[in-house]
Amino acid sequence: MPTFVYMTRCDGCGHCVDICPSDIMHIDPKYRRAYNIEPSMCWECYSCVKACPQNAIDARGYADFAPLGHSVRVLREEKKGTISWKIKFRDGTEKDFVSPIRTTPWGSIKSPAEYEAPGGDSFSNQELAHEPEALKVDELPTLAPLRRETG
């Protein structure tokens, strides 16, 4: 079910180009609107569909198994921290779902650039960046350093 773009809605902002994990959402050189350059490589992750601020991207079901007007549409609302899905079945049944996309207010998470840069001794540390404080624990168990056999 590859994605496609409603050209009249797209304003060519490039959010989908930035977020596509397959690097298959690009800008058309003729119309400067986004398009899926390789539909067969799209794994329907819906990243671009959710990221599009104009709701201009949709996923198309293959004609051999999803005909008759079904649709899966999604609306992401940053300020509310919600993502809503509307599933329309082939028999006309509609179902709406709302889910949280985060538990903290939008814009409250620090970007990596806002953290202090790690020092050179971090290379010998077993913890990942911002551990353990980012995990909200005091301490993480660590393995004893290996001792080099000599003699």
| Residue 43 vs 106, nearer CB to other proteins | 106
Expressed in angstroms, the distance from the first to the final Cα of the chain is: 62
Interface with other proteins includes 88 (CB under 8 A)?
yes
DSSP string, 85-137: EEEE-TTS-EEEEEEES-SS-TT-SPPGGGSPPP-GGGGG-SS-TTTTGGGT-
d(C-alpha 49, C-alpha 13), whole Å: 13
Catalytic residue among 43, 89, 106, 115: 43
Interface with other proteins (CB under 8 A), residue total 43
Interface with other proteins includes 89 (CB under 8 A)?
no
43, 62, 89, 106: residue in contact with other proteins (rule CB under 8 A) = 106
Q: Which stretch binds other proteins (CB under 8 A): 59-67, 97-105, 119-127, 142-150?
A: 97-105
Interface with other proteins includes 90 (CB under 8 A)?
no
43 is catalytic: yes
x/- track of binding to other proteins for residues 22-51 (CB under 8 A): ----xxxxxxx-------------------
Closest to 134 measured CA to CA, from 119, 106, 107, 115: 115
Burial 20-40, CB ≥16 within 10 A → b, else e: beeebbebeeeeebbbbeeee
Q: Which residues bind other proteins (CB under 8 A)?
A: 6, 8-9, 11-15, 17-18, 26-32, 53-55, 71, 73-75, 77, 80-82, 84-86, 88, 96-106
Question: Where in the sequence numbering do the catalytic residues fall?
Answer: 43
